[in-house]
Chains A and B, each alone.
Chain A
Amino acid sequence: MKNFTYFQPENLKDAAKQLGNNWKDRLLIAGGTDLLGLMKHNLERPDVLINLKSIAGLEKIEYLPGKELRIGALTKITDIAEHPVIREKFTALAEAAGQVASPQLRNMGTIGGNICQRPRCWYYRGDFNCLRKGGDICFAVEGRNKFHCIIGGAPCFIVHPSDLAVALQALEAKLIIFSGKKSKSVAIKDFFVLPDADVYRENILKPNEIITEIHIPEPASGCQSGYLKFQEREVWDFATVSVGVSIKKNANFIETGLVVFGGVAPRPWIEQKISQALTGTILKENTISELTDICLQDAEPLEENKYKVVLAKNLLKNLLMRLNNI
């Protein structure tokens, strides 16, 4: 690992100032679980690392009943998975957190870092000068693409690897982002970008911006949420496909629903059609199958990943059945 200067800012202003206004080799470190792998494989070669842990107040879980849940960006994934209020009221997030990587990685990894982790594409991580690294082509198009995206891809066919981002999107979270002088609030649906907008980055963060908190609105009464993940290696793995759902029920009817897939696109993928179709339905086993059939109709799978369309529909079906006790 190349040597670097280690900077311990006392506050966000200092951290943002150190980051500067240009993309250069200055990076933030939180838990470090993704960053150290990137540095080991020479994907990142920072001159300066800025330790967010030296700033007080970024690791916290605050629940304001009736209003929102506030999670500091440096909160450990383990603490989110085990938090009683999150398990009860923000279930999709707790379920997603409990399935992130291994216990060791959840004990170090933070929610902010999880949202900002880089893609796991084997061409990106491996010794290929791919599009995302400044090269000319995406090797997944003609190469091995079993785990790549089926929608939203061109010109780079990564999937976004975060479990938490999918759940946070289903729960309509907002990210609080410090940008040099003041903070702004960004809906998580507006945070991630597709490769046709920016092929080098997965989100809208500018060089000097830092995620400080994640706010999730209190679910209305009758709301339920969940997260279901399929991984090829049972014990722990990144999601092959995952789904996060929140629904608001009124007696038997679904009043509103939001369906978000992971592992299918370069960002958490909101399925508008099905989210709309859920409204007004009474969920039974046969109606669920009809509903889930309209998922991912615009998908354009690559040679080896057509299975993801079927897998996504089945995961959604299973999760809807579980949420409706069918």
Chain B
Amino acid sequence: MNLPLALVLLPAGAALAAFLTRADRPRRVLLVATAATHAALVIAGWARGATGDDAEAWLGLGPAELPFLAATSLLFLAASVYGAGYLAREAAAEHVDHEEGFLFQNTREAAFTGGLLLFLATMSLVAVSRHFGLLWVAVEATTLVSAPLIYFHRHHRSLEATWKYLLVCSVGIAFALLGNFFLAGALPRGASHVPMTQAVLAENAARMNPAWLKAAFVLLLVGYGTKMGLAPMHTWLPDAHSEAPSMVSALLSGALLNGALLAILRAHAVCVAAGLGDFSGGLLVFLGLVSMGVAAAFLIHQTDYKRMLAYSSVEHMGVMALGWGVGGAAAFGAGLHMMGHAFTKGMLFLAAGNLLAIWRSKQTSEVRGALRAAPASGALWLTGFLAISGLPPFGLFLSELRILQGLVAHARWTETALFLAFLAVVFVAMARVFLRMVFGEPSAKGETPLRLREPISAVLPPLALGLGALVLGVWIPSWIHSALQGMGLMLGGGR
């Protein structure tokens, strides 16, 4: 059986089994086992080399897909280990809301676990789809299966977040469908029945109608950009990330947003092949900078630390859009950034989940002295801050440096200045919050002993993700390096 299809069907089958499993423990084992098998298959696929060189193939696993799929799969593995412990701790029938004090229930665990596994299945389909129509179906499916995940804690705030997410993203992605039709309309008359795969379209790109292709790219960028969290279409993102359980936030930030970016890049690659790279790249650069700017503005004086991480995701998606738009060395950097950000933001959200469980508040002003009250989570929180800010020796340092190199090599000085200015503002704004939370006298309402406050299943996954971010910064294995270079070429970065 071919590997890309197996990567979709395995978690989908496991999701069905999870829906039907009554007992909690076997279901949690199933979740982690499926995630581990998926990760092993992805790594095996990477070791075996690219498949699906047929231009007309709908599914494929090559340099364009592997880094993205590997980041998604490893992040999901970490989140599932974290999740198994989290679900065991959340098993009580009723919970008290931290903010407003009312009682609420959680979604049934079977439905939640099944939803997680379906999320992995649809995300894998997004990664391996080279056909634009199928890609659209997959991206919309990720919205629909992840909406119930955000509504895990059943109360009015998470309901609000879920509704906004569903409506904003569905309407946005509808525009992407229109973009697909325009893409088909751009094909020359004789070629109107070719399969709509990225490779076939790139072959025919020179004969495509440029005006239609431009319109198609704009629609796809707006549509998938909504899902990716590019400003000004990012409005759903902070709400969804702050109300979802932390491991779901980690998956949204580290996998879902990247998936939408991949969809945009496939269209960008067709534009580049048609000689419209300056047009599509210019739009990516513009929206990237707008996203960085908007995120920086909302990060100043942010009082909710999960919302802070969400706006930081808007910023980093902007960095990636900028890098891909510029191309060359910056595209390599943006590919690396995609992996590094997935690991780092996953680590931060999981650590945030630990802080939230101990302090029972998302307010930055409530959490003090994390390093002493919860040494492991506090250290992870501090390390995560250093990593997300792009300080050496973490992966995001290297990737942002590469993007900077690309900007300078293309002599784009205005963009360089704005890029550095926004990064500086974000760093200062986030440093204020993080450092106050980590140092000082603990403010924990801590009667529970440390061993219970920081269970091993809540510490190991973010630690592993942090190590991943570190590895990408100090030593990129040659196979990752060559895949990222291939990714840059396949997705329109080779300009």
Same complex for A and B? Answer: no
